[in-house]
Structure 1
Amino acid sequence: MEKLAFAFEKTLENKTKKEVLAEKLIEMILTGLLRDGDVLPSERELAQLFGVSRETVRGALSQLTAHGLISVSHGSKTRIRASDAILDRFRATRPDEALQELNRFDIDSVFESRIVVEAAIARRAAMRIDAEGIAKLERLLQAQSQLFDSPVHFQLSDQNFHKLISEYAGNEILLRYAEELYAYGLNIRRQVMVEEGAIERSYREHGHIVEALKRGDPDASERAMLAHLDSVYRTTKAKLNATVPQA
């Protein structure tokens, strides 16, 4: 299997790594996962989360700085700048039509689609993932075990976890569908992740998926992925319903 040094390369071969990473961070800002005033992980932590060099991270952050979406001061933390005024100006120059279209769909339709796509991904990944891929997933799990009190950092790692599995499925179309569907409702997922025990629950579910992939068992991998998606769906829908104003 072709080595995948960077999880996003195959889908956007004409773009540099720093451009792809910048777009992923921008997507997280536009979906509300990263919010105004949030502190980003360090360059070292971002490099580990996304499997890239610190030089790539610096290049991506410089693009976000140019867009006015982050503030970077020497010797201090990097913070998100995502006030309504800033986001309105950014959207006026770069409308995200795909994301706007996806978020028109209801949660049931989105998760029905995720079940079909990610079940197939889990089965294919179980038959194709190699020792290096398992090692990458286990390193992500180890990092996630230290993030139970860091919802934003965990969600960044969570996205990379699902992306890596999708890459090893070896089907670019499934990968693209999975990436678009993952972006649905990230602002709601952030609200779920701050609840007690939510991150630890997702971490345990991730562990079951990795165990099945490590055994090369397509049936068990599919079951573990579906159990995880069911948990994500139920907690997301419960939070979404709780935030809808009652008539």
Structure 2
Amino acid sequence: MRKDDPSTGPDRIVRRKLSDQVFERLRELMASGELPPGAPMPSERDLMERFGVGRPAVREALQHMHTMGLITISHGERSRVNELSADSVLTRVDDVARMLLSSEPEQLEHLKMARRMFECGLVRVAAASAGPADVADLRDLVARQAGCIGDAEKFVTLDMAFHSRIAAVSGNPILVATSHSMLRWLFQYHGVLLHWSGNEDKTLVEHGQIVDLIEAGKSEGAVRAMEAHLNRSNLLYAHGNMRAAGL
């Protein structure tokens, strides 16, 4: 193709699919508040008449919105606009994240590094701003973990809750959702039995130390404790350990 071909120039007019245009118009209606969260979507016939398009374009646009999590399509009921949150948005990429980790295992090291940097920053914030209620919640989670040694699934669920609760001290829902997603991707990929079998007591001690440092407001100490905790647990994610465990 020649560089001076006018069909590839910046002024070329590109025809967009009708369904893409319907999608954009519907997204604008959501952004403007005309279609707020929880509201029923107009019927296909109403959308056809409003936008002057056929049923296939409307259906394709609605399916695209459903796939993106913008609306929920229920058979026998009117589709509704979803209420978006940081958590709901990140949850939509769970399957893709698991596929990435499974097909490209080297990505696991990038995820572990990202989590370490992320959680060290979160615990620094927590040590600087945690109140009595935050500390009490964290101690309660450690106590509940101690009470379910032997039940790996419950122990890991509470471990995720512990780290998510540290993130919650920030008051930032995006940080909380990102923290939870990272944990979910790690644990779902490796399974719960591998990570904690034989390491529960050490984990409880480390969690207790982290809470002590948060309560004392010792940011640097809390960061060092969290980094040591994650460095130890990250060794359990080695692929060799996975193969040895038959997972």
Q: TM-score, normalised by structure 1?
A: 0.56
Q: Tell me which structure has the larger Cα radius of gyration.
A: 2
Q: Give the Å deviation of 1:230.
A: 1.0
Aligned to 1:172: 173
The percentage of aligned residue pairs carrying the same residue is 21
Aligned to 2:31: none
Residues of 1 paired with 2:245 and 2:212: CA distance? 35
* Correspondence 1:98 to 2:99: no
Gaps of 5+ in 1: 1-13, 16-95
The aligned amino acid for 2:193 is Q
RMSD: 2.3
Which structure's relative contact order is higher, taking Cα pairs within 8 Å and 6+ residues apart? 1
* Correspondence 1:239 to 2:241: yes
Q: Give the Å deviation of 1:134.
A: 0.6
Name segments (4+ residues, structure 1) moved above 6 Å. Answer: none
Residues of 1 paired with 2:114 and 2:230: CA distance? 11
Contact 1:124 1:170 in 2 (8 A): no
Q: TM-score, normalised by structure 2?
A: 0.56
Residues of 1 paired with 2:172 and 2:218: CA distance? 18
Q: Give the Å deviation of 1:158.
A: 1.0
Aligned to 2:152: 151
Residues of 2 paired with 1:160 and 1:119: CA distance? 16
SS of match in other structure, 1:169: coil
Contact 2:127 2:215 in 1 (8 A): yes
Q: Give the Å deviation of 1:243.
A: 5.7
Residues of 2 paired with 1:167 and 1:97: CA distance? 21
Q: Give the Å deviation of 1:174.
A: 2.3
The alignment of Structure 1 onto Structure 2 pairs a total of residues equal to 151
Moved more, 159-168 or 103-112: 103-112
Contact 2:194 2:245 in 1 (8 A): no
* Distance change in 2, residues 1:138/1:207 (3 Å): same
Residues of 2 paired with 1:185 and 1:112: CA distance? 12
* Correspondence 1:134 to 2:135: yes
SS of match in other structure, 2:217: coil
CA displacement 1:78-117 (0-9 Å, x = unmatched): xxxxxxxxxxxxxxxxxx6411222214210110110111
Q: Give the Å deviation of 1:240.
A: 2.9
Aligned to 1:121: 122
Counterpart selection for 2:192 from 186, 190, 193: 190
The aligned amino acid for 1:215 is A
SS of match in other structure, 2:149: coil
* Distance change in 2, residues 1:184/1:123 (3 Å): same
Residues of 1 paired with 2:115 and 2:186: CA distance? 13
The aligned amino acid for 2:194 is V
Contact 2:125 2:170 in 1 (8 A): yes
